[in-house]
Structure 1
């Protein structure tokens, strides 16, 4: 145990076991934070720590449109949360105290982002496309505001209970676990559904006793007590305290400064009950202890699977292989030389990839052979260029066909008349076969004309995009060269590390050394406190803790590898940029446009 940690323990309150526990969990969290593989588990530990040192958390749950949000606004004494009937709360929202008001969005990947308080409705009730996208990746919100109530308690405005098949209802177990007290909100005059009753019973079996808040007592004309009696007859043994209130009356009392209306709303009774319940420090300590026991089991499962899963397996194999290759001396040096030679040839090939490209056809051939020259812009251009050249080829083929057919026509005419073919022809010179051949020529001419239209169309696109495409291709080449150069730099850096910092390389099994450190810390600092200090932990749970921690610490993350001697030869650095000249693509319009014979004229007869 470090001197700094010992000093922290000396400064903690010996009579406050929860404070001592948290002071030991903080360095454990710091250790585990160095390993991204256990990030989710580490975040859960951070939640336990944060919840232990923060104000007690009170959760309000219930189905849609029972007035949870309105009730919270009444408790806060301000219209902070929008409470539209048509737009239920869509995000679990922690309301916390702060002199500065802002929103902290906590995403599923652990990332935290702060926003202005004015954006609250975007996260909580908005049904816009952007809001839906954000909430898809959102875990929960923390809203920090100035409120006297929140100096003593953190309140959670929750999403509605999800009702499933067979009269079941669902709510996030992870959120339930974080809360010290649960208040179930029911609308006066609207009895609890079977699914709600089943849910409250399930909570009771989990050790969570929900307190009943009947909202809207101003709407039932003095029948509140009868309604309460009827409800408690059904499930009263599953609930704790019960408080009838009117959130709307409380809001109206605030707006009109009516003391009597505030008394009638009974909102003060609700807040007083909250304060009375959360004052139970032993219960909070017990809640944190239970969560920590569950967290240790989660960590055990995760640690036990690490040695057989990625990325630990690859990291371990890399270190062993790295050490073996390094000790081979000459073999490692030859491998380095071969790799550098390969990178040198790659760099040379890429730097002159456009050296011989002087036509569009050559460019298309180059694009087919080099995959690093691909991206959506280039693919689209290539498609247009291929269509352009295809139509040029088709046009030339048709033109050759036309020329051959015209030659046959000339031979036929001379054979029949003894004269050379000239147009226009006399009517007496037109034979059925001659007319047929002319018609064939005109059909080919029409096809040529149609192909020429396509040629001009694609030619225009190819020319218009030429500068953009050339710039992009040159950029892709530079990116590829940069990538090769970076590989060479990395090889050189790796070679230096292997030869001069072998000790660090041997010990660098990714981030997993901190797991071994965490194991020792749990055994030396956490276990004694859980087993020996005055914490509300049962004897059976102590046995479970001992077994769990034993399984955590028996997983071996330490290994020994002999440090290799320094190699006799070190390869000289290579500057690829100076060695190989870069040939950029510089095609002009003349290089792109294909020469094609003129369009034959249509023969009139």
Structure 2
């Protein structure tokens, strides 16, 4: 056996401790998923599993107007999120890596709707009625972006800090405990408030040590070093690294390819710090293990409450809430109508996207505003068409200047000689004047010829490729329409699946055997591993885990055998309300060569000025 094969075998036989732990938790999640009474606790376990198997999560935290959104844009190298508006971030946003860029909106009732990345503004900051309704029912959103940084870390753009009780800035404790790292954003020259420092002290009790980013260093007249030292003197013992950056400079540098400006922005130092911090595998193992200990304590409380709270009634009321309460159903229908309205509006806009495109200029304007009409072939045509139009503009301007120069020449000659300008000219007295002016005109005439030749070359390309590009654009628009229908179909399937799951929950109310099964699994599979030497746990923590699982297993649920059937109505078919395929027919692009050609004045002729 070779050394390489030996190493490969050892890796397979001895996976990392975190992976071994997660492999024990996955069957436990499957077991607990059969009971809706511990649904929220089960969901938290699934989140622990998912977080452990995904990239480390980095939370961007801070007050309003400190530039969190601009900072995230600068890390991604593009103006993805809308910053500097009157509408601050109101939804926690998980920014993950994805080959196909899209948005997944997670609603409070568990429904997930997929949107094109171009709809990010609608979901996050738009003030339209539909957008506001959608946001009211949102839990959080996931934005999938193709960017190398996101291959190693998930960025969480959080809602702004708010002043809570006891003069302490409020932030979700659940999210704080879920993420692997916290980056706190301050604005240069604006010290942390007492509310923020109180929250920082609270984080110390959770063993959370945030790193600080001092943003907008390009806009502060004072000494940034002095500002940082002043902040360190106030609370430096409770924080990690401090990185001063200019998110605006970083965005401008990437836009203009200005390397010095990129260096000045110090965004690269922040990126390097992120890579260094999230590469600490042992810290992630410790973080997930701590989450699991907290989760076990939560499960203990849930299981101990079951015998005292008639489990069937609680589970059945949960099913009734989803199906019988008029108010809940009404809000869900409101959300569905808002989503359908949003999809219909987009479908209608796509179907008429080419209605007003009657010239090459209008086509270029449309391509610039609609991302779904772009691919390599279209972008090449767009680039050449834009150059064609630029040459046309340059030629018209030059031709106009030539005409004005010729008119001035005629007037000056008439004033000088008292005669109208006619060729050939016999005027030895004004020979120097004539030679100079005619030479200027002929130089401009030659420039006109050169521009016209360039125009003809690009016009040939534009006309030659017009119909192929036109067919491609029609295909892209039709593909976008199909995508919208598919998105609504996915939502409809989820609505139907929701009722299927609810029926399944009712059927499972016959017994709580899944809880009994989970007790045995915790005792036989999870406890021995957590009490071993593989995980970074102290003896005190191991004893706490042992006591918690012992309390869970001590609850006797074998006598709980309650069952009652419930009729769950079928959900409304959203596709039946979807009539815009028949209402809005795609009006394809239909340009001819005469539509894309520009009418140009004839080029001036060269003036032969051999004087008689």
Q: Deviations over 1:106-131 (max 9, x none)?
A: 23333333222222223322344333
Contact 1:34–1:511 (Cα < 8 Å) also in 2? no
Equivalent in the alignment of 2:291: 291
After TM superposition, give the deviation of residue 190 of structure 1 in Å.
Answer: 1.1
Contact 2:162–2:169 (Cα < 8 Å) also in 1? yes
After TM superposition, give the deviation of residue 232 of structure 1 in Å.
Answer: 1.2
Equivalent in the alignment of 1:118: 118
Contact 1:91–1:123 (Cα < 8 Å) also in 2? no
Equivalent in the alignment of 1:436: none
* Greater gyration radius: 1
Contact 2:512–2:560 (Cα < 8 Å) also in 1? no
For 1:190-339, list aligned pairs within 5 A.
190-221=190-221, 223-312=223-312
Q: Deviations over 1:422-453 (max 9, x none)?
A: xxxxxxxxxxxxxxxxxxxxxxxxxxxxxxxx
Q: Distance in 1 between matches of 2:515 and 2:111?
A: 22
Q: Distance in 1 between matches of 2:110 and 2:549?
A: 26
Contact 2:94–2:157 (Cα < 8 Å) also in 1? yes
Q: What are the ranges of 5 or more consecutive residues in structure 1 without an aligned counterpart?
A: 1-9, 317-506, 562-605
Q: Distance in 2 between matches of 1:560 and 1:167?
A: 47
Equivalent in the alignment of 1:146: 146
Q: Distance in 1 between matches of 2:309 and 2:54?
A: 36
1:521 aligns with 2:507: no
For 1:178-193, list aligned pairs within 5 A.
178-193=178-193
Q: Deviations over 1:460-506 (max 9, x none)?
A: xxxxxxxxxxxxxxxxxxxxxxxxxxxxxxxxxxxxxxxxxxxxxxx
Residue 315 to residue 235, structure 1, CA distance change in 2 (3 Å):
closer
Q: Deviations over 1:235-264 (max 9, x none)?
A: 111111000000000011011100000000
TM-score, normalization by structure 2: 0.57
Give the secondary-structure state (helix, strand or coil) at the position aligned to 2:94.
strand
1:96 aligns with 2:96: yes
Contact 2:189–2:222 (Cα < 8 Å) also in 1? no
Equivalent in the alignment of 1:57: 57
After TM superposition, give the deviation of residue 512 of structure 1 in Å.
Answer: 1.8
Equivalent in the alignment of 2:17: 17
Equivalent in the alignment of 2:585: none
Equivalent in the alignment of 2:453: none
Q: Distance in 1 between matches of 2:266 and 2:60?
A: 17
Q: Distance in 2 between matches of 1:149 and 1:72?
A: 11
Q: Deviations over 1:397-422 (max 9, x none)?
A: xxxxxxxxxxxxxxxxxxxxxxxxxx
Q: Distance in 1 between matches of 2:311 and 2:108?
A: 21
CA RMSD of aligned residues (A): 2.3
Contact 2:103–2:142 (Cα < 8 Å) also in 1? yes
Q: Distance in 2 between matches of 1:77 and 1:135?
A: 27
Q: What are the ranges of 5 or more consecutive residues in structure 2 without an aligned counterpart?
A: 1-9, 317-506, 562-612
Give the secondary-structure state (helix, strand or coil) at the position aligned to 1:64.
coil
Contact 1:68–1:185 (Cα < 8 Å) also in 2? yes
Equivalent in the alignment of 2:169: 169
Q: Distance in 2 between matches of 1:216 and 1:37?
A: 49
Q: Which moved more, 1:46-55 or 1:230-239?
A: 230-239
1:47 aligns with 2:34: no
Contact 1:152–1:275 (Cα < 8 Å) also in 2? yes
Equivalent in the alignment of 1:433: none
After TM superposition, give the deviation of residue 198 of structure 1 in Å.
Answer: 1.3
Contact 2:18–2:285 (Cα < 8 Å) also in 1? yes
For this pair of structures, how many residues does the alignment match? 363
Contact 1:315–1:509 (Cα < 8 Å) also in 2? yes
Q: Deviations over 1:140-199 (max 9, x none)?
A: 111111011100110011110011354210100111111111110000011111111111
Q: Distance in 2 between matches of 1:91 and 1:122?
A: 12
Contact 2:34–2:508 (Cα < 8 Å) also in 1? no
Q: Distance in 1 between matches of 2:131 and 2:305?
A: 37
Q: Distance in 2 between matches of 1:91 and 1:535?
A: 35
Q: Which moved more, 1:200-209 or 1:264-273?
A: 200-209
1:136 aligns with 2:136: yes
Q: Distance in 1 between matches of 2:166 and 2:514?
A: 47
